[in-house]
Structure 1
Amino acid sequence: MKQYLRLRPFKAISFDLDDTLYHNAPHIIKAESKLSLFMQEQFNVPDAWGLTQWRELKAKVIAVHEELAHDTTAARYEVLRQALIQWDYSEVEASQGAQQGLECFCFHRSDFKVDLSVLKLLTDLGEHYPLVGITNGNVDARRIGLDDVLEFVVHPGHGVRMKPYSDLFDLSCQHLEIEHQDLLHIGDHPISDVLGSRAAGCQSLWLNLNPGNNQQARHILPHIEVDELQEISLLAAH
């Protein structure tokens, strides 16, 4: 554990979810694969349609609907809908197909459980502080086992912007009825989590999963840096 700034007393702890409480990549890869298979089985996907075409379409959709850059679920739905329209499906068929595809993705995206050691860590910390989730993603916290250890989870969308914007931190502090300086945010990303929380006026603990990584020096220092999640058990004594 490295301390860069004095950690002041805090009243609550917020956690990023993806890649902080679990390794996210395998679940996204699985969900993307299941979605691709679903689309191939249910619709006439052009032979030349692949990852490049999906990425290009997503960029076009977000360029037209900038608010979707802050809503991963709505963006995925709209990309699916636009793809189906390009493939000559009707508006009704495209809307229904996009919803079905989205449901397929969301099911597999949250089809796992957080490790028991992490849940125990959160349970122990929860005896001392209210714990909440602040995520840019769309994982279903209930399905992955976090509903018993986190008081609530906030997501971007519907006018609420992603981290590093302050919206999610503002919303969390409002729900917790605390000042921003009384919230300690824990996350793996030096921009979304460290810069975001510091810019919002919160305290920051960076989970640096790549100890050789010095990205924080290019942005802003966290109060504390750890390279293993279990190190935060020391916060219970703070």
Structure 2
Amino acid sequence: MAFAVRAITLDLDDTVWPFAPIGERIERVLDDWLRAHSPETARRWPPEAMRAMREHVWRNNPQLAHDLSALRRMTLEIALRDSGADMALLEPAYEAFYAARNQVEHYPDSLDALARISTRVPVAALTNGNADLTRIGIDSHFVFQLGSREHGKAKPSPCIFHAACARLDCAHGEVLHVGDHVDADVAGAFRAGLRTCWINRDGRRWTNRQLRPDLEFDSLAGLADWLETHDIRAPAVARTG
């Protein structure tokens, strides 16, 4: 398949690193922090209860679905208030969470692949999450990071893809969006008029009969290999979105 790739937008969680270990670490770190700084909060809100309350907060605040940081702060605020804690602990508790959130364990192929990909085309991070690429130490591979919190809408909304294309100064069909999520990444980017690459690390079957990704790889290394052998000067096939 011949099409131009002038730039790439790249999902982060479960594409560059797995999120599950991060989520487990966050629960442990927050529980340890609360035990040390607000024992009554830790007693009333052990990890299982905190998880259930977080899910309740997220379900009941759909207007904040694009802002995971606000939802996390809301969850912590409820737990602290409920236990009679000093509310001055809210920001330090959030910082304990955020430090743990940015302790990522990259997939084995990711760092080398990112270096290879970013020497070929500009790469922009496009995420619904709240990772900090500078804290993680990989910001040098990206021309910018656009998160749903900053934009005000989350993937799969077309407008966040279009905003990234505008910042990249590229037509929609000249940008390849790369990610693991069938709906938020592949379907969202497709409907926005971008080219799509599905990172399918666990061998899932594609079941959407309405569309297919332009590319599919089981790692970012596969994408790096493709870019190094693909003629990006090939004429782009325009899409509307």
Distance in 2 between the 1:222 and 1:116 partners? 24
Q: Deviations over 1:108-140 (max 9, x none)?
A: 221246468533322222222111111111111
Query: What residue in structure 1 maps to residue 84 of structure 2?
Result: 88
Q: Deviations over 1:52-100 (max 9, x none)?
A: 43244334434553322211111101110011111124xxx32x22211
8 Å contact kept, 2:124–2:145:
yes
Q: Does 1:195 align with 2:191?
A: no
1:236 is displaced (CA, Å) by 2.7
Query: What residue in structure 1 maps to residue 216 of structure 2?
Result: 225
In structure 1, stretches of 5+ residues that fail to align are 1-5
| Counterpart code for 1:88 | G
Distance in 1 between the 2:163 and 2:151 partners? 12
Worse-superposed segment, 47-56 or 118-127? 47-56
Change (3 A) 1:7 1:206: farther
Aligned counterpart for 1:31 among listed residues 20, 26, 30? 26
| Counterpart code for 1:16 | D
- Over the matched positions of the two proteins, sequence identity in percent amounts to 28
| Counterpart code for 2:79 | A
8 Å contact kept, 2:27–2:47:
no
1:225 is displaced (CA, Å) by 1.2
Change (3 A) 1:190 1:115: closer
1:38 is displaced (CA, Å) by 0.7
Cα RMSD (Å): 2.3
TM-score (norm 1): 0.85
Query: What residue in structure 1 maps to residue 4 of structure 2?
Result: 9
Q: Deviations over 1:19-53 (max 9, x none)?
A: 11122221221122101111122111264533443
Distance in 2 between the 1:174 and 1:86 partners? 45
In structure 2, stretches of 5+ residues that fail to align are 231-241
Q: Does 1:172 align with 2:164?
A: yes
1:228 is displaced (CA, Å) by 2.4
1:215 is displaced (CA, Å) by 4.3
Provide the secondary structure at the position in 1 that maps to 2:4: coil
Query: What residue in structure 2 maps to residue 61 of structure 1?
Result: 57
Query: What residue in structure 1 maps to residue 239 of structure 2?
Result: none
Provide the secondary structure at the position in 1 that maps to 2:177: strand
Distance in 2 between the 1:10 and 1:158 partners? 26
| Counterpart code for 2:71 | A
